[in-house]
Amino acid sequence: MDIFHQGEVLRRRKRKATRLAWIIAITGISLCTLFLSLHGVVLASMFVNHKKAPEHNTTPEECCAIYNYTTQTVVNT
């Protein structure tokens, strides 16, 4: 094998390695972005549901009454 052919083989290997590195990097960034966006959607929906919850419109006394009623119902059944 002559030197020219060896250089060509090395260039091809380097090209393949670079292409593989780019593919791995883009795939990793895409998966990370997808995970973060889904995580953001879940957190946002939890936040919206938390704000809509009826408990936030009750006074502390009503919360205590609801808690006592709930615990009594569970204990009595």
Residue 17: which pLDDT band, with cuts at 50, 70 and 90? very high
What's the structural domain count of the chain?
1
Helix count and strand count (H, E) for the chain: 2, 0
Q: What angle do CA 55, 58, 61 make, to 5 degrees?
A: 115
Rounded Cα gap, residues 52 and 58, in angstroms: 12
| Integer angstrom CA distances of residue 56 from 14, 64, 68 | 61, 13, 17
Q: Domain residues for 43?
A: 3-76
pTM of the full predicted structure? 0.48
What are 43's two structure tokens? 């957190």
How far apart CA 51 and CA 32 sit, in angstroms, is: 28
pLDDT for 30-43, tens place per residue? Answer: 999 988 888 888 77
